[in-house]
Amino acid sequence: MNEPVCLIDTGRDGRMSVQQRALQILEQIQQPVVVVAVVGLYRTGKSYLMNRLAGRQSGFALGSTIESKTKGIWMWCLPHPFKDGHTLVLLDTEGLGDVEKGDEKHDMWIFCLALLLSSTLVYNSMGTIDNIALEKLQFVTELTEYIRVKSSDHSRNTELMRVFPSFVWTVRDFTLELELNGKPITADEYLENSLKLKPGYSAEVSQHNLVRRSLKEFFAVRRCFVMDRPASAAKMKCMEQLTDADLEPSFVQQAQQFCSYIHQQAQVKTMRGGRGLTGRMLGSLAETYVEAIRSGKVPCLESAVEALAKIHNTRAVAEALDFYRAEMTQKVQFPTETQEALSSVHSAVAQQAASTFMKASFNDQDEKHLLQLKEGIEKAYGELCKRNVKESRKVCWSVIRRVFASLEHGLSNGSYMRPGGYNDFRSALDHGAQVYRSEKGKGIMSEEVLTEYLEEKNIVGKGICAADQTLSEAQKKMEDYRVRLEEAEQQRRLLEKRIAMQQQAMRDLEQSKQESIRQLERKLEQERQRAQEELQQVLSAKLKEQQELLEDGYEQRAQKLSEEITQLRSERKKSAPFEAVGRRLISWLGKMAFAKETENLSFSVEEEGEYQSVHKTEDQMEMEMEKVEGARAGDVENVDVPDVSYDEVHRHHFGQRRCKSCADIAESSHWVLMEPLVSMETGVPVYKHCSPSGRFECAVSGLRWVCASNVTVQYHFSDPDAFRAELAMLQYTPIGPLLDIKVLEGELLEAHLPHFACLEGSESSLKEAVRVLHGVDSAVTLETCELTRFHAKLLKPSFSLTEVLVKIGIPVRSHLDVLIYRMRVTPLTLHIYVVPRDASMIQAVEQDTRNAKKIKKNRPDVSIWMNSKFRLTCTCPAEISPQDITLKYIRPPDFFEVFMENAEERFDLELTCEEQSIWKATMRSVDYGETADTSQHIQMTSAATRDFQGAAFRGQPYLPTSTAGRATGALTNTDLLFRFRLGLIERMSGGVLRDLLDGLQHQLVINRTEAGDILQRTSVQQEQVARLVDTVRNKGRRACGIMLCMLQQLDIHLYNDLCDELE
């Protein structure tokens, strides 16, 4: 700005209004603003001071007559002379006490607005600070009547002190010597001495103390500058033309000291809690306050914060999304050759968009607008990905038509339907594919489109082969076999492409999330620091005030102030770095963990070219790659090449259903396995899936569904005894978990409910006897279903409480699980459960044994009749009770207790049923013993190393069984370690810290220099723990996984406690 403009004016009707020109200027300022306002009696040289702060001879209007020149509040916005990236906003106000105006209430509103809009308030007066000068500051005694704050733990005056600006009193034309009791004093000491309270309680004393007490109670920072008369009366009539050489040297020096202080010490304008304002926010704040005054209300600080947040956060999201779309449109040339090319641009632009949002947002409670931005960016990125697919398909089909033109011509005129025509056809097809692959610029759908084309032509080729009389039957079979191998190879190429896209999509999401966390962390830390400074200023002022009250004899007031000081100290402790920032980040991470956009996304393409979302975990990717390598090896004898399909690679710990008894019963494998999002808000695990169109299976329960469009499915396991009485009357019994399923969005075409019944030898009888229960309150209905090997299929289902039932009296064989838990090490005590393979049953057992160590062994691969009796034997001396267990579907299930006084290094366990062995397992000391001696270096077994490294690769922590199924399952190693950070800082012992440092060096996670730096930079153990956690987190997911594994070994109780607190 070259010159000031009017910000707030008063119309002829006496009502204030914010000027649009000023708002337009502020609208363009997206930097933090340092706002300095000047108030004081008219004709005291306020405007001249503002011009000096601006570094200009002229600007704000000066006058040499008794008439006041400034009306309302004027504004001048300039680049800050000392703080890069900040704007200095100077506010010159209408003089108070103008005899022509004679409106004290108007003066009060001018004073209040200057105070509420500024971060530093300059009060300008003439002469000295005496009773007369203080009486002219009577406005401060009425501030509580004109400014409202909402209720809090602190007094109203303390709350106002926290948001009020610094107070600077400039005394012009000062003629006294700065001395007190014969000793020189500073201007600040002069001010504080003038504000001393008189002892006593009379009306006269109370009136004397009123303004003084108000200044102390409202302004935490108080400074004073005294200035000599600048020049002679004659010269002062033309102050705008005078240079420093024309002024008194003492005045110039004093004015420079004042300007230096303001430029270097005046802070950014903030609201309660250290939330900084930009220029556009300052404009909105001015509108909010003036509108309240115009409507006859009192400006409310909390309402102003809420109004600013409502206006600017929604706008910040929209502007950041507009920025993202515009930048992506400008920088991306479709189609991109690889997914990485699009992803790299997306990552950079998304980071810039997040930064744009952070700068423009204000008081984003619970970070909900930041989540909206993430959702918006992911949606926009998905649309760009769809466009990339469509453009790529368009280019690819154009290339297909060109390079296979001669082949298509031969097919159309029938030239291949002749003896020897098949070989010519295959040669033309192979040549066209070779030329097609050599073409550049086809984009990410290159192999997808080629696969579609080759599949179509291979069908035509079969007809040509059958008609070619020059080929013998053996040759035709060989040709068919060769085509199948080529199809498998093409599928391999396609699969590699899809996996690469999938992995890139997951990296995109992880990078986006981490960048959002970093940006949020920076902003929260800035706000925390400003809030801490604000709190410290108030606390220091209160302590000083308390000391003065005691010195002046006001012991009762000082005692009352002690309560305020105690509250302030408690609040300062709560706003410590590890707590204030950490807890908000943890809260936000928890929302992200249950948000739709945090799922692992990959992409598959339908014939229409739609870009769909498919959810997979990284262990599934690893299995897919193994399948690809198998196909590449071309082991014809052991790999059924024509059946290599994209869908068959999906398997999981619950999905690995192996049963020799029913192995000959067909089971579709065309399902995409999904890891659910887990919420513990209700105290029990609630699982949630957001899927596109397709066929999906939950990795936890085995629940399957089919949908034609996007759906959101949520479920949890319910009490299996809820309908036991009703089922007894109906003569039915459960053979699967009771599920409370809700479809939150979309519609399901099919639902496949899991069951544990084995169909061996009784498939037909079971299919007639099985029903699906629907329960609402105490009413139940039964629905027929289609029974498959592991599921009961429902078409167009509607849900309530649901489970699979079988008619009582129908014999049922059950698929089994054997669950082993070590309850004690010395003497060794094991609990061994034999239960139907039911996810809710497994979850119930794990809940009951959450403080025990789970020992993982293979499952039985045969099924057993329900109500059969089992016996457990051991190859070493042991007490086993009971002798037998009957297989039942009950809660809690029965178990064998194995007690060994002196456990051997290795022994075998065996389950028998009717003298037939159904399960064996070898137990080793590494399975049941303690994992490490905390007094030595951590030496991890190869099996444990593989376990936690595999978990690190999948982005999940290596969890002990007692934590499985908790809220930790939805977090990566990095997120989990971050959420443990506060607990580790507060509770980790010195011994565990030292052992962790040694173990992490042994595992090459940190080096000796880093370990030494952690210990030597500070002697405070909590800070050392914080440094260790931050160092490991910066090294990535694998490093975090190793540290979590070691923590479990060193202090399993602390680890379990931290997991419990997440819930």
Give the Cβ contact number of residue 427 at 10 Å.
11
- Residue 626 confidence (pLDDT) above 70: no
pLDDT of residue 102: 53
Rounded Cα–Cα distance for residues 336 and 1018 (Å): 50
pLDDT of residue 969: 52
Which SS3 state, helix, strand or coil, does residue 1005 take? coil
Beta sheet of 750-754, edge-to-edge order: 672-674, 694-698, 704-707, 750-754, 791-795, 786-787
- Residue 803 confidence (pLDDT) above 70: yes
Rounded Cα–Cα distance for residues 978 and 994 (Å): 20
Rounded Cα–Cα distance for residues 68 and 43 (Å): 6
pLDDT of residue 510: 66
Which SS3 state, helix, strand or coil, does residue 916 take? strand
Q: What are phi and psi of 821, to 5 degrees?
A: -130, 135
Mean pLDDT rounded to a whole number for the chain:
78
Partners of 795 in beta bridges = 750
Q: What is the pLDDT of residues 884-933, one digit of tens each?
A: 999 998 888 999 999 998 888 889 999 999 889 999 998 888 778 754 33
Measure CA 551 to chain center. Answer: 52
Cβ-based burial of 416 (10 A; exposed 0-12, middle 13-18, buried ≥19): buried
pLDDT of residue 512: 65
Beta sheet of 869-874, edge-to-edge order: 884-886, 869-874, 906-913, 916-924
pLDDT of residue 523: 66
Per-residue pLDDT band for 37 (boundaries 50, 70, 90) equals very high
Cα dihedral value 852, 853, 855, 856, nearest 10: 100
Contact yes or no for 578/356 (Cβ under 8 A): no
pLDDT of residue 564: 72
pTM: 0.47
Contact yes or no for 773/724 (Cβ under 8 A): no
Rounded Cα–Cα distance for residues 667 and 651 (Å): 13
Q: What is the pLDDT of residues 738-788, one digit of tens each?
A: 999 999 888 999 999 999 999 887 767 787 889 998 887 667 888 889 888
pLDDT of residue 370: 81
Contact yes or no for 984/1058 (Cβ under 8 A): yes
Rounded Cα–Cα distance for residues 995 and 1008 (Å): 14
Residues comprising the chain, all counted: 1063
Q: Tokens 């939805």 identify what position? A: 970
Cα dist from 285 to 17, 164, 290, 837, 929, whole Å = 13, 14, 9, 63, 65
Rounded Cα–Cα distance for residues 277 and 311 (Å): 13
pLDDT of residue 504: 65
DSSP state string for 311-326: HHHHHHHHHHHHHHHH
Rounded Cα–Cα distance for residues 519 and 526 (Å): 11
Q: What is the pLDDT of residues 492-527, one digit of tens each?
A: 666 666 666 666 666 666 666 676 677 667 766 766
Per-residue pLDDT band for 934 (boundaries 50, 70, 90) equals very low
pLDDT of residue 752: 93
pLDDT of residue 933: 34
Q: What is the pLDDT of residues 638-659, one digit of tens each?
A: 333 333 232 332 333 344 456 7
Cα dist from 11 to 17, 38, 72, 286, 800, whole Å = 7, 22, 10, 16, 65
Beta sheet of 813-814, edge-to-edge order: 757-758, 813-814, 864-865
Rounded Cα–Cα distance for residues 431 and 418 (Å): 20
- Residue 58 confidence (pLDDT) above 90: no
Paired tokens of 238: 């033309």
Which SS3 state, helix, strand or coil, does residue 894 take? coil
Most confident of 137-146, 717-726, 736-745, 774-783: 736-745
Which SS3 state, helix, strand or coil, does residue 69 take? coil
Name which residue leads in pLDDT, 656 or 1040. Answer: 1040
Rounded Cα–Cα distance for residues 321 and 350 (Å): 9
User: Half-sphere exposure of 729 toward its Cβ, with a 13 Å CA cutoff?
Assistant: 8
Beta sheet of 166-172, edge-to-edge order: 16-18, 5-10, 73-79, 87-93, 33-40, 120-126, 166-172, 222-226
183-184/711-717 β-pairing:
unpaired
33-40/87-93 β-pairing:
parallel
- Residue 12 confidence (pLDDT) above 70: yes
